[in-house]
Amino acid sequence: MRLHHVGIAVEDLEAAKARYLLLGFRVEAEGEVAAQGVRVAMLRGEGEALLELLAPLGPETPVGRFLAKRGPGLHHLAFATPDIEGALAALRAAGARPVDETPRPGFGGHRVAFLHPSFAQGVLWELVEG
């Protein structure tokens, strides 16, 4: 697999975008994932891995609760796989506990699935099909 993007929880999407523009990153896509209660800006630099800024639409959302507990900062690692069901099954067989038992639509129309951070020493993993 390859690293697809790094998810970053932010309180202020515009202010955060401005910081990454300083590094030469550009906004490739932006929009809401209503089912996750989040507004997303996907940033592309000179390389292939993306940065995904995540601002909550309200406090009672996954990212809202993350911010209340941990403050803003690095949130998850997303890995690209051509076969998300196969990857999910292999990780489950190795002891990982899926947050999503079956893949669901994520930002940009990709199918995604998250895995509980207990499996990877505190790191929330996301699988992205593509």
d(CA 51, CA 116): 20
Q: For residues 9 and 66, is the Cβ–Cβ distance under 8 A?
A: yes
Residues ≥6 apart with Cβ < 8 Å to 74: 6, 7, 8, 9
Per CB under 8 A, the list member of 29, 31, 120, 130 interacting with a second copy is 120
Per CB under 8 A, the list member of 68, 105, 123, 130 interacting with a second copy is 123
Instruction: Count residues near a second copy (CB under 8 A).
Output: 42
According to the binding rule CB under 8 A, does residue 114 interact with a second copy? no
Site for a second copy in 54-83 (CB under 8 A): 70-77, 79-80
Helix (H) or strand (E) holding 116: none
Task: Kindly give the residue spans of alpha helices, DSSP state H, lying in 1-130.
Answer: 13-21, 62-70, 84-93
According to the binding rule CB under 8 A, does residue 122 interact with a second copy? yes
Closest approach of a second copy to the CB of residue 36, in Å: 19
Instruction: Return the number of other C-beta atoms located less than 10 Å from residue 1's C-beta.
Output: 11
Per CB under 8 A, the list member of 11, 14, 32, 101 interacting with a second copy is 11
Binding site for a second copy (CB under 8 A): 1-4, 6, 8, 10-12, 15-16, 19-20, 22-25, 45-49, 51, 70-77, 79-80, 90-91, 94, 117, 119-123
